[in-house]
A and B are shown apart, each in its own frame.
Chain A
Amino acid sequence: MELSKDLFRKLEDNEKNSEFIAVQSRTYLQDAWIRFRRNKLALAGLVFITIMILGAIFVPILSRYTYEGQDIANRHALPSAAHWFGTDKFGRDIFVRIFYGARISLSIGFLAAFINLCIGIVYGGISGFVGGRVDLFMMRVVDILYSVPEMLYVILIMVVLGSNMTSILIGICISSWVGMARLVRTQVLSLKQQEFSLAAQVMGASNTRILFKHLIVNSIGPIIVSVTMMVPSAIFTEAFLSMVGIGISIPMSSWGTMANEARELYQNYPIEIIWPIACICLTMLSLNFIGDGLGDSLDPNKK
């Protein structure tokens, strides 16, 4: 094709548009959400967890059964229109107990993760940011805490404080914030040498401002992923404790206590043990998928 010269003309200065950005502006979270949506497994996990949370809130309120109400005539009933998941050995409705248990299991999971997050960010942030001897001392404390098995803390605290939700929470948090503190420390250590952090220093920003506004904000990706992974591990610890009989005490239900109760008769009534175990498995799986998906979508390098 012949291109003649008069097809072209020189642009005037005011016609040049070299500074114009055509792409729509998106925030970090919008970007992350777009990438997260592409991961179908993570999305399925998110849907399942949302259903569990809504169920945990509304099922015990709306149902005509309570978690402790017994229907002696209807013990070990199979799933029916009256009892959707059947009843247990005391004739209690399993459907309500599962979602009442979800309240306890999920709130332990999320609360533990939240407490870990707060302690970990402050402790790890200070340790990494101040550095030097302070860092050395703070990290040795962490090492000492880490060297004692988590279960030992939990069991000892349960013995002293009795078996209730608070003591389980304290037991789980006392050792597992350590992982978060280490993660935050490494992030802060590498980010504080970046030029934007030096720039904030040159501007005269206070240490608190640099730490929270520049360093923590930029390590939010790995932090969120780690929090998502902490939730299932706390749920698992609680289920384990209840399963071996030192967790949530009856007649309250958690998935662990339900599995423990059904275990005695599982050869005769296997369906009763399947419900709590399925819930534990699916919840842990969903949270792990979500964590995985977030790991991919929050990492700007994987764009």
Chain B
Amino acid sequence: MSENKLLAVNQLQVYFDITPSMFAKKAIVKAVDGVSFEIGKGETFGLVGESGCGKTTLGKAIVRIYNPTSGNIIFDGVDIANKKNKDLKSYRKQVQMVFQDPYASLNPRMTVGEIIKEPMEIHNLYTPAERNQKVQELLEIVGLKPDHIRRYPNEFSGGQRQRIGIARTLALDPDFVVCDEPVSALDVSIQAQIINLLEKIQRDTGVSYLFIAHDISMVKHISHRIGVMYLGKLVECGESEDLYRNPLHPYTKALLSSVPIPDPDIAKSKKRIILEGELPSPINLPSGCRFRTRCPYATERCGESEPPLTQVGTRDVSCFLYEK
């Protein structure tokens, strides 16, 4: 994997200062707190976790909508974590993002043609005639009609809009796309359509994805490897089939047992792990292991120090249960 590595995130931290006034007590949200992973060329890395665990923040920090507090984002051998916005032009051309809400991610005052053309205009690619031709090609790839080019986003359904959004990200032929919950705002039947489209694009162009979602069964379907996040940290990371069959970290186990099973007989026989307590506030994190307040296996030691991410077989887990 290391020889065709495309992106490496190393100890990335994204903190937000939310201190209300100059005199109030300092309040810092540690949205992403030391996350490391790698993504290879043509690979899909799935990121799961419950709401508020920092997965979207991580995705937005990678495309540099948010500025990382510390750590490295190494893309194609270059660290872009601390580059100034004006030095990011070539990075912006290679990395794109598909957004969660297809109703908010398209400018309502621009036609579909203008929306898809915009990235090419910004990067001065192609002549105007070539751009129009490229728009037609992209519309065909995402399954829209050529005459949709003059229409406005409000005339389309959610699934169609998401496909327009995907066509826009493809306009620059990116090497890497961050998909931030691209299907969670869509109807289930449309979800499959979009997932299949993303997979087809990957087969045809060899693009890499960071696929962010909270539905682990969907992430397993599309991803080669999966990372599980809890409160700003990666708690488990491994091959997707392997992790899905045999979760190691107690949080991953709980997350997997919450996946509904279509067969009621099997569902009855399966034991569900129900987590006690609330998600702790990311401003005031528990000492030691972040998961210990809700973990059924928590011991005294978990409160004293934080378990490091250690390798267990092909897997990385951050839990004292698997310490050698």
Contacts and interface: CB of A to CB of B under 8 A. Distances in A.
Given A195-B99, A195-B105, A204 B145 contact: no
Nearest to B155: A21
A218 B97 contact: no
Most central of B88, B105, B106, B123 by chain A CB within 10 Å:
B105
Given A19-B148, A28-B152, A217-B109, 14 more contacts: A21-B155, A25-B150, A25-B155, A27-B152, A28-B108, A194-B104, A196-B105, A199-B97, A199-B105, A199-B165, A200-B107, A202-B96, A205-B122, A206-B122
A202 B65 contact: yes
Contacts of A23: 155
A201 to B, nearest CB: 6
B96 A203 contact: yes
A263 interface: no
Given A20-B145, A21-B151, A200 B118 contact: yes
Contacts of B151: 21, 25
A209 B123 CA distance: 13
B21 to A, nearest CB: 12
Contacts, number: 78
Interface string A1-32: 00000000000000000011101010110000
A204 B160 contact: no
B148 A21 contact: yes
Given A19-B160, A195-B105, A204 B143 contact: no
B122 A28 contact: no
Interface size class of B (residues with CB under 8 A): 35 or more
Contacts of A300: 108, 154
B282 interface: no
Contact of A203 (B60, B122, B144): B122
B83 interface: no
A196 B144 contact: no
B122 A195 contact: no
A75 interface: no
B92 A202 contact: yes
Interface of B: 60, 63, 65, 88-89, 92-93, 95-97, 99-101, 104-109, 118-119, 122-123, 143-145, 148, 150-152, 154-156, 160, 165, 168, 172
B197 to A, nearest CB: 13
Chain B CB count within 10 A is highest, among A200, A202, A300, for A202
- The 8 closest A-B CB pairs, nearest first, are A204-B92, A195-B105, A195-B104, A195-B99, A196-B107, A203-B119, A202-B97, A217-B109
B215 to A, nearest CB: 20
B58 to A, nearest CB: 15
Contact of A198 (B65, B93, B108, B109): B65
A200 B143 CA distance: 23
A298 to B, nearest CB: 12
A19 B122 contact: no
Given A23-B155, A203-B119, A203-B122, A214 B107 contact: yes
Contacts of B65: 198, 201-202
A20 B157 CA distance: 11
Contacts of B160: 19
A200 B150 CA distance: 20
20 contacts: A20-B145, A21-B148, A25-B150, A28-B109, A194-B104, A195-B99, A195-B101, A195-B105, A196-B108, A200-B107, A200-B118, A202-B63, A202-B92, A203-B119, A203-B122, A204-B119, A209-B122, A217-B109, A218-B107, A218-B108
